[in-house]
Chains A and B, each alone.
Chain A
Amino acid sequence: AQSVTQLGSHVSVSEGALVLLRCNYSSSVPPYLFWYVQYPNQGLQLLLKYTTGATLVKGINGFEAEFKKSETSFHLTKPSAHMSDAAEYFCAVSFTGGGNKLTFGTGTQLKVEL
Chain B
Amino acid sequence: NAGVTQTPKFQVLKTGQSMTLQCAQDMNHNSMYWYRQDPGMGLRLIYYSASEGTTDKGEVPNGYNVSRLNKREFSLRLESAAPSQTSVYFCASSELLGTSSYNEQFFGPGTRLTVL
- On A, residues with C-beta under 8 Å from B are 9, 32, 41-46, 49, 51, 90, 94-107
Contact = CB atoms under 8 A, between A and B. Distances in A.
A106 B101 contact: no
Contacts of B103: 100
B42 A101 contact: no
B96 interface: yes
Nearest to A46: B104
Given A45-B107, A51-B102, A99 B42 contact: no
Interface stretch (B12-20, B44-52, B65-73, B76-84): B44-52
Contact of B100 (A96, A104, A107): A96
A96 B96 CA distance: 11
Main secondary structure of the interface of B (DSSP, over half): loop
Contact of B107 (A9, A44, A94, A95): A44
Interface in B7-60: 31, 33, 40-45, 48, 50, 56, 58-59
A91 to B, nearest CB: 9
Nearest to B105: A102
A10 to B, nearest CB: 11
25 contacts: A42-B110, A43-B90, A43-B92, A43-B107, A43-B108, A44-B107, A46-B104, A46-B105, A49-B102, A90-B42, A90-B43, A94-B102, A96-B101, A98-B101, A99-B48, A99-B50, A100-B50, A100-B94, A100-B100, A101-B33, A101-B45, A101-B101, A104-B42, A106-B40, A106-B42
